[in-house]
């Protein structure tokens, strides 16, 4: 049976969700105990970037295991409105450099309120975020992404390549 939608259609729908939402739920596990944490993200170069405390459970577990999963979804009040992404991949820290500069610019553009936490005229770079919030910049590099959409049909779920 042929897919109901081609990857270009699904890619566009997935990117609409990615660009329209601000939080993703990052899921990890240690032993046989699971954990989930919501994080603000920005999507740059097919990766999801977020700030987090290096001592947080989701960071410790994802770095120790080398893997994590995540979900992004739209607000839904009926089952037909349920749409989102499920993904798995690896989490890694981002160091000072061109990648961090590009991501922080995108983060400040998406989350304009962030500037309220800094003094006027202060340089807003990776070091400033680390000092102010005691966080590091991380990225989720997805290895598998599924798009789900009950408006297509109940339980619709198909792999998508971004």
Instruction: Decide if 161 contacts 6 (C-beta within 8 A).
Output: no
What values do phi and psi take at 151, rounded to 5? -75, -20
In 3D space, the residue among 20, 146, 137, 16 whose CA is nearest the CA of residue 71 turns out to be: 146
**77 SS3 class:** coil
| Mean pLDDT, all residues of the chain | 91
pLDDT band at 148; cut points 50, 70, 90: very high
> What end-to-end distance do the CA atoms of the chain give, in Å?
23
Residue 4's pLDDT band (boundaries 50, 70, 90)?
low
**Residue 16 in this model has a pLDDT that exceeds 60:** yes
On whether the 7-159 domain is CATH 2.30.110.10, my answer is: yes
Task: State how far the Cα of 154 lies from the Cα of 156, in Å rounded to an integer.
Answer: 6
CA distances to 44, 115, 120, 132 from 123, in Å = 21, 10, 9, 12
pLDDT in tens, 80-105: 999 999 999 999 999 888 999 999 99
pLDDT over 90 percentage in the chain:
72
**pTM beyond 0.85, yes or no:** yes
Q: Which residues does 59 contact at the CB level (< 8 Å), separation at least 6? A: 52, 53, 91, 136, 138
Average pLDDT over residues 13-21: 96
Query: pLDDT at residue 14 above 50?
Result: yes
Query: What does the alpha-carbon distance between residue 15 and residue 21 come to, in Å, rounded to a whole number?
Result: 10
Instruction: Give the whole-angstrom CA distance, residue 145 versus residue 28.
Output: 16
Residue 1 has pLDDT above 60, yes or no: no
């Amino acid at each position: 049976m042929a897919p109901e939608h081609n990857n270009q259609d699904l890619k566009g729908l997935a990117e609409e969700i990615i660009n329209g939402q601000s939080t993703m739920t990052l899921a990890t596990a240690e032993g046989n105990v699971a954990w989930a944490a919501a994080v603000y993200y920005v999507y740059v170069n097919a990766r999801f970037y977020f700030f987090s405390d290096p001592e947080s459970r989701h960071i410790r577990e994802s770095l120790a295991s080398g893997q994590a999963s995540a979900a992004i979804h739209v607000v839904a009040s009926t089952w037909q409105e349920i749409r989102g992404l499920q993904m798995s991949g690896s989490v890694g820290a981002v160091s000072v450099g061109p990648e961090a500069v590009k991501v922080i610019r995108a983060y400040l553009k998406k989350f304009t309120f962030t500037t309220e936490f800094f003094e006027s005229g202060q340089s807003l770079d990776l070091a400033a975020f680390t000092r102010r919030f005691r966080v590091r910049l991380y990225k989720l590099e997805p290895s598998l992404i599924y798009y789900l959409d009950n408006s297509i049909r109940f339980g619709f779920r198909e792999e998508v390549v971004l």
